[in-house]
């Protein structure tokens, strides 16, 4: 059986390798003169094979790219290396009797346009590869005496075998422009001194790894803050993820048990609480537990306490509060997530376990929990990543407080809320970019390592 599976996999691999034979390397080695000319003049091979619309389209795009690089692209690439240095000048005009301002450099725009130019170059390289592969494919079909597709054939294929080529370009373009380009721009920014420090908000320069060294340095004020915030971020993410998960699972099991009456009503109640906008719930809880809030007022008026409890001004209390309130607003979502999974566990397994003398605790740890973890491991990882970037809960509840004097981050700040304060409040854009990169690294490492060690990944179809 194992040998049959191995042979089947090797056969699939062979099919996949031969399924797309038209590559640039094969075109260079086996193509005719027209195909090789296409390496320099895009679309030439397609035009020779009478694919005029396709060939001239490639040629026009190449001409436009060359024109752009000569007109703007080359200078934009040069600008990205030096990022300018000429500040705006104020010059007195005797004839008009006024001061006039000369145009100065803007390093931010130079960096942005330079990164965009790099993306345009990459897009042209992809176009170059596609045009050569198309020319080589046309040559191979012509050489074998087969019909070379015309323009109308290519259009028809876009709604049939090449439907992906028709549907994907626009979404991919959106992802590139609105996701990948800003990310690359942010990564580049992390290697500059773009900040209000020494007034480097208009003209700034490359500083290499200086910002990373500052962030990772324990003895530096920013560095010590980073490690403190990182530690709390990980503690928060673990506590917020698993408290919601296990408490929500237990609550779902209680509702799902045979002896529970009005199951639909209990689920509807939790669904209604989840339907309330989160920012409303968070702001309400912040007000309730404030210094002069309902809780402190009732406790003082009833003589239970003499002084208001510092829910948001004491570091330990504030951290406990954000975790507890996150449990309150997060459990309804967990109940909804796991209810369907609990109902899918075969009742015969539970009956067999009870016959063998297993109690509720043993059944939970031997049957329910392994099944749930197998099915929901990817969901747990996603929730963990979401909690690391859980801006709403921290910002709306505590705003990162309490914040020590002279510090840029509070005791309940996560990396994401600290990043917000560094960029919006303090204008340390370069350090904010570094924090963004470090957050991504932490998320990527934890998520990939965790997922690769789950049963869901190791034995995707082996759970029984």
Cβ contact 436:419 at 8 Å: yes
Alpha carbons 344 and 337: distance in angstroms, whole number = 12
Query: What is the per-residue pLDDT for 117?
Result: 97
* pLDDT at residue number 15: 39
Segment 27-51 shows an average pLDDT of: 94
Residue 89 confidence (pLDDT): 61
In this predicted model, which residue has the larger pLDDT, 295 or 359? 295
> Please, what is the end-to-end C-alpha distance for the chain in angstroms?
19
Q: Return d(Cα 45, Cα 38) in angstroms, integer.
A: 6
- Angle (CA) 378 236 252, round 5°: 55
Beta strands in 115-208, from DSSP E residues, in sequence order: none
β-pair type (89-93, 98-102): antiparallel
The reported pLDDT for the residue numbered 94 is: 67
Decide if pLDDT at 142 tops 50: yes
> What is the residue-averaged pLDDT of the chain?
87
- Let me know: does 251 contact 338? Beta carbons within 8 Å: no
Residue 429, both tokens: 């854009």
pLDDT at 93: 64
How confident is the model at residue 11, as a pLDDT? 42
% of the chain residues with pLDDT over 70:
90
Instruction: Annotate 186-202 with b (16+ C-beta within 10 A) or e (fewer).
Output: bebbbbbbbbeeeebee
pTM, two decimal places = 0.81
At residue 200, φ and ψ (nearest 5 deg) are -100, 50
pLDDT value of residue 170:
93
Q: In this predicted structure, what is the pLDDT of residue 458?
A: 66
The rounded distance, in Å, linking the Cα atoms of 201 and 428 is 9
* pLDDT above 90: percentage of residues in the chain: 55
Q: Is the pLDDT score of 17 beyond 90?
A: no
Could you state, in order of their start, the residue ranges of all structural domains in the chain? 2-189, 210-458
91: helix, coil or strand?
A: strand
Q: Mean pLDDT lowest for which of 126-130, 223-227, 272-276?
A: 272-276
Burial of residue 58, with CB atoms counted within 10 A of its CB: 0-12 exposed, 13-18 middle, 19 or more buried? buried
Give me the pLDDT at residue 91, please.
62
Whole-angstrom Cα distance, residue 19 to residue 137? 13
- The model's pLDDT over 442-452, given as tens digits with 9 standing for 90+, comes to 888 888 888 88
Class for the domain spanning 210-458: mainly alpha
Cα 123 to Cα 274: distance, rounded to the nearest angstrom: 44
| pLDDT for position 199 | 84
pLDDT confidence bin for 191, thresholds 50/70/90: very high
The CA-based dihedral angle spanning residues 150, 155, 156, 161, taken in that order and rounded to the nearest 10 degrees: 100
pLDDT band per the 50, 70, 90 thresholds, residue 426? confident
Residue bearing the bigger pLDDT, 272 or 400: 400
């Amino acid at each position: 059986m194992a040998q049959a599976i191995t042979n089947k996999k090797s056969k699939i691999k062979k099919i996949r390798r031969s399924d797309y034979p038209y590559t640039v390397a094969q075109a260079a080695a086996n193509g005719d003169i027209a195909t090789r000319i296409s390496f320099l003049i895009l679309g030439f091979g397609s035009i020779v094979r009478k694919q005029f619309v396709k060939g001239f389209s490639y040629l026009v795009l190449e001409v436009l790219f060359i024109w752009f690089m000569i007109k703007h692209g080359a200078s934009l690439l040069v600008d990205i290396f030096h990022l300018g240095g000429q500040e705006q000048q104020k010059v007195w005009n005797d004839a008009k009797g006024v001061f006039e301002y000369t145009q100065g450099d803007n390093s931010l725009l130079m960096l942005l346009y330079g990164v965009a130019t790099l993306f345009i170059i990459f897009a042209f390289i992809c176009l170059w590869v596609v045009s050569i592969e198309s020319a080589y494919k046309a040559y191979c079909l012509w050489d074998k005496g087969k019909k070379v597709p015309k323009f109308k054939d290519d259009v028809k294929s876009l709604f049939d075998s090449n439907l992906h080529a028709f549907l994907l370009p626009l979404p991919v373009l959106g992802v590139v422009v609105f996701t990948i380009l800003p990310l690359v721009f942010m990564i580049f920014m992390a290697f500059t001194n773009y900040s209000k420090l020494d007034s480097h908000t208009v003209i700034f320069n490359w500083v290499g790894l200086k910002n990373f060294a500052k962030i990772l340095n324990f003895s530096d004020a920013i560095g010590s803050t980073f490690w403190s915030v990182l530690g709390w971020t990980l503690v928060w993410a673990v506590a917020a993820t698993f408290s919601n998960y296990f408490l929500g699972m237990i609550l779902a099991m209680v509702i799902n048990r045979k002896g529970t009456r009005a199951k639909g009503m209990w689920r509807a109640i939790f669904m209604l609480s989840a339907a309330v906008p989160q920012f409303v719930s968070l702001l309400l809880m912040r007000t309730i537990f404030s210094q002069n809030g309902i809780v402190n007022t009732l406790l003082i008026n009833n003589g239970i306490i003499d002084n208001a409890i510092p829910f948001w001004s004491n570091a330990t209390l504030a951290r406990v509060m954000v975790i507890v309130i996150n449990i309150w607003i997060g459990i309804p979502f967990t109940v909804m997530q796991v209810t369907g999974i609990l109902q899918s566990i075969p009742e015969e397994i539970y009956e067999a376990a009870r016959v063998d003398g297993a109690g509720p605790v043993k059944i939970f740890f031997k049957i329910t929990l392994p099944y749930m973890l197998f099915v929901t491991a990817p969901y747990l990882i996603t929730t963990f990543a979401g909690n690391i970037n859980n801006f709403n809960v921290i910002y709306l509840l505590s705003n990162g407080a309490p914040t020590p004097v002279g510090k840029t981050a509070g005791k309940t700040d996560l990396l994401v809320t600290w990043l917000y304060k560094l960029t919006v409040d303090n204008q340390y854009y370069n350090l904010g970019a570094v924090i963004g990169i470090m957050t991504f690294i932490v998320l990527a490492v934890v998520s990939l390592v965790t997922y690769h060690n789950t049963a869901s990944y190791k034995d995707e179809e082996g759970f029984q």
